[in-house]
Amino acid sequence: MRIGAFAEKYNMNVSAVRYYVERGLLTPQRRNNQYVFDDDCMKDMEKILRYKSFHFSLSEIELLFFLQRNSQLQDQSVSRQFLELLNKKKLQLNQDLDTLQQTIKDLDEEIYRSTQKTETASLKKRMPGIPLMFLEKLACPHCNAPLQMQNAHLNGTHILDASLSCSCGYHATIQDGILLCTGHTDVTPFKAYENIESVAYITEEYGKEYRSLMEKSYLWMYHQIPQNRDSLTMLAGPFTFNFLLQYYTKFDEDTTIIITDPSLSRIAKFQEYLQDAASAIIYIAGDLDAVPLCSGAVDLYLDDFSANNCIFTYNRTPYNVLSHWLAKDAPLIGLFLDYCKTPRSIRAFQKEHPDLMTERMSFSYAKASLQRNGFAVTQSKIIGQTSGREMEFHHQVGREKLPFLVYRAERKK
């Protein structure tokens, strides 16, 4: 559905629809330089109208959408925050009960539905394991030889537990459906922020402008993903953020999503959020250098703050390993925060983490790293920057403005 027809359907003008798109509330696809609104957009528009009828402001609706899209209310802390927002509005409406009685009734129904979904999610535990078909994409990271599997415990056509080894001495295991490599830890080594495991933390730590720019960046990234391929294997991580939590429902059973991270607690959080995904989700915990993917296994890499966060943690980007895993025509699609544009803020962070090489927190460094590993940036765009009027990110100093830059890179021809 084109933008004019969509606006007419909801008795709105086109500029209002564009405004909702700019704020990240509507996420239409883009074809031939025109927006195309699908069923998901209609559902989102109906939610917007419903929340507006509850007297939520647009900023409050953005927060409700953020919590829903990034967790699907599968996480208890996020669900509690979502319910707190709904109950706070109920208390406000009760102050004028005579005129708002019907609205309160509708809100009660919404709270009930949200509570039921939370209770259902707490009982629903999906543990599909690693599909047997995925074994063809595994190889020793040291010598690229096929891996041998022993002591396998299957759940239908999925591997729950197994031992993987190579004659060269490499060893990995599959436990509870997670592929465990050398270097996996219980907690994240990423120390840039506290409580990085929880989506709810984002609403506490980041300002509205930051979240809005992140939503716009994610929409740009989504539009870069091929929509008509028969099959697609995407890789995200390490330290990937919330793109997949927001967009995983857009991908069907023909898509395989690989999530790699050193932290088992972070992997467990993704399992909790993505338990109803239609796509096959492969979870790999461990050091990036120890991940046993074969050459050309990946069709697309999602850099969802991963380069930034690898620099924060290891003072390097992940591109050298990706060069081996990516297929010949596989693009890298990413979001990068150029912290070198906020020198006082990054120095404030360095006081707590003195090993950080602050000069590497720039897109020029990331771009040079891509080039060293055989990639070239084919598209890049500054989505926007924080205004500096409010505290928008951790360790922000003064009114420094943080640019959000998106990019697409491909192998050099």
Is 182's pLDDT higher than 90?
A: yes
CA nearest to 137, candidates 277, 260, 279, 258: 258
Q: What is the pLDDT of residues 16-46, one digit of tens each?
A: 999 999 999 999 999 998 999 999 999 999 9
Predicted confidence (pLDDT) at residue 350 exceeds the cutoff of 50: yes
In b/e form, how buried is each residue of 365-394, taking b as 16+ CB within 10 angstroms? bbbebbeebebebeeeeebbbbebeeebbe
Q: Which one has a higher pLDDT value, 164 or 197? A: 164
Residue 261 has pLDDT above 70, yes or no: yes
Q: Could you tell me which residues are beta bridge partners of residue 334?
A: 303, 407
Rounded Cα gap, residues 245 and 242, in angstroms = 5
Q: Which residues contact 188 (CB under 8 A, 6 or more apart)?
A: 196, 197, 239, 261, 262, 263, 265, 266
How do 300-304 and 232-236 pair as beta strands?
A: parallel
Q: Please identify, in words, the CATH class of the domain defined by 3-123.
A: mainly alpha
Report percent pLDDT > 70 for the chain.
93
Rounded Cα–Cα distance for residues 281 and 235 (Å): 10
Can you give the pLDDT at residue 124? 47
Query: Nearest CA to 271 among 252, 251, 244?
Result: 244
Q: Please give the pLDDT value at position 197.
A: 55
Question: Average pLDDT, whole number, for the chain?
Answer: 89
Q: With a cut of 70, say whether residue 118 has pLDDT above it.
A: no
Q: What mean pLDDT comes out for the span 341-361?
A: 90
Q: Percent of the chain beyond pLDDT 90?
A: 66
Q: How confident is the model at residue 402 (pLDDT cuts 50, 70, 90)?
A: very high
* 174 three-class SS: strand
Highest mean pLDDT pick, 5-9, 108-112, 183-187, 347-351: 5-9
Residue 82 has pLDDT above 80, yes or no: yes
Give residue limits of the domains in the chain: 3-123, 130-180, 199-411
pLDDT of residue 333: 98
What pLDDT does residue 92 have?
85
Q: Which residues, in sequence order, are CB contacts of 124 under 8 Å at separation 6+? A: 275, 276
Tell me the C-alpha distance between 259 and 210, whole Å: 24
Q: Does domain 199-411 correspond to CATH entry 3.30.390.10?
A: no
Of 75-79, 243-247, 285-289, 375-379, minimum mean pLDDT range: 75-79
Residue 119: its pLDDT value, please? 57
pLDDT at 192: 62
* pLDDT per residue as tens digits for the range 315-333: 999 999 998 999 999 999 9
Check whether 67 has a pLDDT greater than 60: yes
- Alpha-carbon distance of 282 to 259, in angstroms, equals 6
| Cα 305 to Cα 334: distance, rounded to the nearest angstrom | 7
Residues 6+ apart with CB under 8 A from 50: 106, 110
